[in-house]
């Protein structure tokens, strides 16, 4: 009897402590003067909770006319289903809650067989600053456009858009840093954000991170590569504020005749890994339209279009040819400014409470030659810069708000493929356990 009583009393004590903490927080919040929060829309209810925990798991089963090796180039997203057969895309543990009346905190930890366990985000956000200001600081996904700032289980489609994989990286560009947001005193939602981040996190592929698709690991000791296959400079350091990555984003949202409309403009600039003083500039624009018709065959309509463009400076560099013992095989890669751009456009139609269907179209291309171990190559021979077209119809079924089944077909036309095109079919299942922080519209 005594053995049972001790853990029971301990559990009761812990419960009372948590209840006291929650009561203290509620009382402190109630005593605060009302302030506007720049991230709360008119239709959202602000809430403060001590702790919310959730686990999101996503997996897929797929078949493709492309080989697994070719799929690695086609499916550039870090959690895309990149092989035939079964894939566990991710299992993400999320923790969020109120620190006190002045801060909230979030942490997201993801795991997969291919990537192991990695920290996706860990940051704090202010809740009580005056003048409609908000500060977000910590390790975070950079709020460039729409897709980069969201987690994969919040996406409508199973895989990451091609242009996002190329310019922002397979896991999204994220880094330690801080951003300040200001909610303008106008008659619609209008928020201006400015941020500064380290440019050398491995996810910062357009800057000083690891440039996916250009490491040439199959050639053993070949030097590390960056944008366009150019040599990565050695011993790069953050010597000044100019070596950081700087963000500016302006986002507007309004209800126009029953259609919720959101327009965003983004700019991200910083030092890249090709050499001291070399810079990359990213520009983006995104538009979202959403409506819930009161009559007709559709219960919801949502359209998204996002455009991205990158300009990257690269210096002249001396390159070793494939035969390192033959000096005549060496060559010089000239200084250049490489340009990459693309877009995706998608529309999703809900035609019952649980069913929806959609179509996504993508285009990506580039200008300026890339570098390979054989010498200078046209950008269309580079899997990370070639001209790409992808068409992806989708059907989704949601048994509840905590689970989703998706069937997606990808038609890929890619210049670097030997056959020039590939056909893939993916069936995905994702589930959510617990309370997850809300995703934006």
pLDDT digits (tens, 9 = 90+) for 283-301: 999 999 999 998 889 999 9
CA dihedral sign, ordered 67, 158, 166, 56 = negative
Instruction: State the pLDDT confidence band at 210, using cuts at 50, 70 and 90.
Output: confident
Residue in this structure with the two tokens 């192991």, named with its chain if needed: 116
Give the mean pLDDT of 294-315.
Answer: 95
> Do the beta carbons of residue 178 and residue 137 sit within 8 Å?
yes
Q: Which residues pair with 302 in a beta bridge?
A: 290, 348
Instruction: State the pLDDT confidence band at 219, using cuts at 50, 70 and 90.
Output: very low
The CA distances from residue 300 to 295, 347, 406, in Å, are: 10, 11, 17
> Do the beta carbons of residue 208 and residue 230 sit within 8 Å?
no
Per-residue pLDDT tens for 8-37? 444 444 444 444 545 555 555 455 545 444
pLDDT for 323 equals 59
Residue 29 phi, psi dihedral angles, 5° rounding: -65, -40
**DSSP label of 83:** S
pLDDT for 84 equals 95
Instruction: State the pLDDT confidence band at 431, using cuts at 50, 70 and 90.
Output: very high
Per-residue pLDDT tens for 64-103? 999 999 999 899 999 999 899 999 999 999 999 999 999 9
Nearest to 274 by CA among 174, 199, 196: 199
DSSP percent split of the chain into helix, strand, coil, nearest 5: 15, 50, 40
Residue 242 has pLDDT above 50, yes or no: yes
Q: Find all residues with CB under 8 Å of 274, minimum gap 6, and list them.
A: 226, 227, 230, 231, 232, 233, 312, 313, 314, 315, 317
Q: In terms of DSSP bridges, do strands 279-291 and 300-314 run parallel, antiparallel, or are they unpaired?
A: antiparallel
Secondary structure tally for the chain: helices H, strands E: 3, 20
Residue 234 has pLDDT above 60, yes or no: yes
Instruction: State the pLDDT confidence band at 389, using cuts at 50, 70 and 90.
Output: very high
Where do the domains of the chain lie, and which CATH numbers do they carry? 54-434 (2.40.160.10)
Residue 150 has pLDDT above 80, yes or no: yes
CA dihedral sign, ordered 352, 354, 357, 362 = positive
Q: What is the mean pLDDT of the chain?
A: 87
pLDDT for 12 equals 43
3-class SS at 100?
strand
């Amino acid at each position: 009897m005594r053995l049972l009583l001790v853990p029971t009393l301990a559990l009761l004590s812990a419960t009372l402590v948590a209840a006291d903490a929650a009561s203290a927080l509620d009382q402190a919040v109630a005593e605060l003067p009302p302030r506007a929060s720049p991230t709360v829309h008119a239709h959202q209810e602000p809430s403060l909770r001590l702790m919310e925990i959730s686990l999101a798991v996503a997996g897929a089963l797929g078949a493709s006319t492309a080989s697994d090796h070719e799929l690695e180039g086609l499916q550039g997203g870090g959690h895309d289903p990149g092989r035939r057969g079964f894939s566990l895309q991710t299992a993400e543990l999320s923790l969020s809650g109120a620190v006190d009346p002045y801060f909230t905190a979030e942490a997201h930890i993801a795991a997969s067989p291919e990537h192991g366990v990695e920290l996706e985000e860990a940051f704090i956000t202010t809740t009580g600053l005056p003048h409609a200001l908000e500060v977000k600081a910590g390790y975070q996904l950079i709020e460039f456009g729409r897709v980069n700032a969201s987690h994969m289980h919040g996406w409508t489609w199973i895989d990451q858009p091609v242009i996002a994989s190329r310019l922002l990286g397979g896991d999204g560009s994220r880094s330690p840093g801080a951003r300040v947001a200001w909610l303008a005193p106008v008659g619609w939602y209008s928020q201006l954000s400015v941020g500064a981040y380290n440019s050398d996190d491995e996810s910062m592929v357009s800057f000083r991170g690891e440039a996916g698709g250009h490491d040439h690991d199959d050639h053993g000791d070949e030097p590390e590569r960056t944008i366009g296959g150019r040599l990565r400079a050695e011993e790069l350091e953050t010597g000044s504020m100019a070596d950081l990555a700087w963000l500016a984003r302006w986002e507007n949202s309004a209800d126009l005749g029953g259609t919720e409309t959101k327009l965003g403009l983004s700019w991200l600039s910083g030092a890249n890994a090709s050499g001291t003083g070399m810079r990359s500039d990213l520009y983006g624009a995104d538009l979202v339209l959403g409506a819930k018709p009161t009559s007709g065959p559709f219960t919801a309509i949502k359209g998204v279009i996002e455009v991205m463009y990158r300009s990257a400076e690269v210096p002249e560099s001396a390159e070793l040819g494939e035969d390192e013992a033959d000096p005549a095989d060496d060559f010089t890669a000239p200084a250049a400014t490489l340009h990459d751009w693309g877009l995706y456009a998608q529309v999703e139609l809900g035609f019952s409470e649980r069913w929806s269907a959609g179509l996504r179209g993508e285009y990506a291309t580039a200008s300026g030659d890339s570098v390979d171990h054989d010498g200078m190559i046209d950008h269309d021979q580079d899997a990370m810069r070639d001209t790409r077209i992808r068409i992806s119809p989708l059907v989704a079924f949601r048994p509840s708000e905590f689970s989703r089944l998706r069937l997606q077909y990808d038609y890929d036309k890619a210049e670097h493929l030997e056959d020039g095109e590939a056909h893939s079919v993916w069936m995905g299942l994702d589930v959510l356990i617990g309370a997850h922080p809300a995703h934006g519209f």
